[in-house]
Every structure is written in structure tokens, then in C-alpha cells.
Amino acid sequence: MSALPGTPASPGTGTSTDVGAAVSRWLAPVLEHTRQDAPASGSVTLHHFGYVRLVACEALELRLSRGPRSIAQDASEAVALLAPRNGTVRLAQDGRGAHVESGQLALIDLRRPFSVEHRDHARMLFFRVPVHALHLHAALLRSVTARALTPKGGVAALLPLVLRHLEKSAARTPPAVAEGFGGIVTELVAALVEELTEEAEAETPRTGRHQLVVTIRQYIDRHLDDPELSAERIAGAHLISVRYLHRLFEGEGVTVGRLILRRRVEECARELARRGRVSPSISVVAARWGFRNAAHFSRAFKAVHGHSPQQWRRLAGAAAADTTATAGGETAHERGPDRAVAAPARPSRAS
């Protein structure tokens, strides 16, 4: 990448003394603010680690903000891990504010408005990671932005060591090795988000967990017709990690995936058992409740009810006909054994 006006750059790196322009190009479009209403005095250096960018910024009295107008210029589908190298950085996003000190970390979602401010001689690092590489729901990221993370243990303690090494060795790291480091940083950032959400979830009281399970069950019922319904989507919609979602259902006697499958089969069975002048085909019913594959639907249905969908519909029709005949005055004894047909079994509640 070619450098902005300033110091010449070697391939794969960039340097610039135009702080605001460099940050806008290499991190995300931002507005620069200074008390003197003049460009900040300093420098910005760029290093590539595959698709991960290290943007090292040094300036006097630096304040950067990203608002709706900046976002309209560039969506910047990425997050940034902020690591101050001296002093304290004031970070604000999603209605939260944090003072991030040297030795701490903080996450910024570059797709939404934020502001970063350092009133003294600032030296800070931004590690820019594409959102698609993290495989995280946007709601999870929103729950952990603008928080000062102290490396006491876990991933938060490991990340600073890795970032410090990358900062020191960036200029002499071969491209192939640098790309591997970028993958490591990406995995650690994703693990950090998971770790932070799990810590918050662990503090949820028992009554809160029960209510959360009830809420998730209701959510599943409302979205049964969506073929894309999955544990990942459910977790993201409720601001929890997939791991915690599965842990919530350990006491329910059924996994999330099997619960979705069972509830879909139950709704299909209920619809197939209805009598009417116009009955939809089995494939239409299956598709209506989120099944994409007819063979998969048939196997799932038989596993729950012990009958194929065709058998279930025939048995339900016969049982309904017998009920009508009985209501008309014919007793079971008068029908005789040859005409007695068992009604379909009630939907199984087994996991």
C-alpha cells in the first residue's frame, strides 16, 4: 500500500504525518478535532498481518470521531482492538464511555459511531480485524464495546503479549509469517468476545436464567418457519454466546438443535392431522415449517412419531372418520374390530 504524504514506505507498510487522513484511510473514515483547529502533529504507521492491519498512531492532543456522515462514506466492516501505549484514552461507543489506560485493551466496532480522545502526547495501537473473519453476531460485539479490559487472566491476558510482539517485530516479519500472525490475532479477538459475554452471563441469577430459557423457547416457536434458524442466530438475538446457550439447555433434557427439530415436526403433525376440503401436500407443510429436504423431514418425522408423514395423515383421517361415525350414533361395538382404527399417537416429548 502506498503511503500518504510523509515518510516513504516499504511494500506492505505505510507511514504518514497527516494523522487524520492516515487513520481515515487505514482504520476507518474519521473526523479529526484539535483545540488549535489545525491538523494534529504526529505520525501514523501501517503494517499488514494478512487481512489484519496494525495502525500505530502517535500525536499531540488527539481526538477522532466517527459519526453517521463518516459511516456513509465507508461502511468499514471491521472491528478495532485499541491498545494505548501511554497515558489514558477516553473511548465512547454505544452509549458507554471508558477510560482505557496503558496496559489495557478495548474493542471498537468500526461500523457504528465512536470517539477516541487523548489529551496529552498520545501513542496508541489499533488492530483492525474484518468482521466476517470473526464469525460473531453483531449483537455480541455491541455488548462488549467501549469497555476497559484489564488483562487479569484468560484471553485478555494473552492478547497484550501477542500484540506487543507484533508491534516490535512488524517491520522485519516476512509476509507469509505475518499472515499467520493475523489469523492468530483474529482467533484471539473472537475468543475474547466469547469470554467477555460468558463472564456477564455467569452473573445472571437462577431466576434470570429460567426466564431466559422461557424467552428463548418462545423465540424458537416464533421462528420455526425460518430455515436459517440455528443456535448461532438464537444466541446472537439474545446477546449470549453459543456456548452459554447450549449450557442453558443442559438442564432442559434436550439440545437446542433437537428442540428446533422436534417443534417443527410437532407443528407439521398437527397440520397434517387436520381435516378439510383442501389439504396441503406433505411437501408444502414441511417447507412451511422450515424443512428444506423432503427425505430429512420424513426421517425426522418418523423418529418422533414412529410413522411416516403419509401414514400419520392416513391414520389421522381414519380416526377422525370414526369419531364422526360415533357422533352419528354408531358405537365402537357396532363398528366391530374390522373397522376400528387407532388414532395417531400424541406428539412425543422425548428429546
State the Cα–Cα distance between residues 119 and 267, nearest whole angstrom: 61
Which is more confident, 209 or 18?
18
Which is more confident, 340 or 144?
144
User: To 10 degrees, the CA torsion angle through 225, 226, 232, 233?
Assistant: -100
From the list 58, 347, 15, 345, the residue with the least C-alpha distance to 170 is 15
For the four alpha carbons of 170, 171, 172 and 177, in that order, the dihedral sign comes to positive
The CA–CA distances, whole Å, from 212 to 51, 70, 120, 202 equal 37, 37, 45, 13
> Residue 191 pLDDT > 90, yes or no?
no
> Residue 256 pLDDT > 60, yes or no?
yes
- Per-residue pLDDT tens digits for 306-322: 888 988 888 877 766 66
Cβ atoms of 23 and 12 within 8 Å: the answer is no
**pTM beyond 0.85:** no
* Cα 338–Cα 339–Cα 342 angle in degrees, nearest 5: 105
Location of C-alpha cell 422450515: 290
pLDDT band at 351 (very low <50, low <70, confident <90, very high): very low
| pLDDT for residue 9 | 36
Q: Supply the mean pLDDT for the chain.
A: 81
Helix (H, G, I), strand (E, B) or coil at 100: strand
pLDDT band at 325 (very low <50, low <70, confident <90, very high): low
187: which 3 cell numbers? 482467533
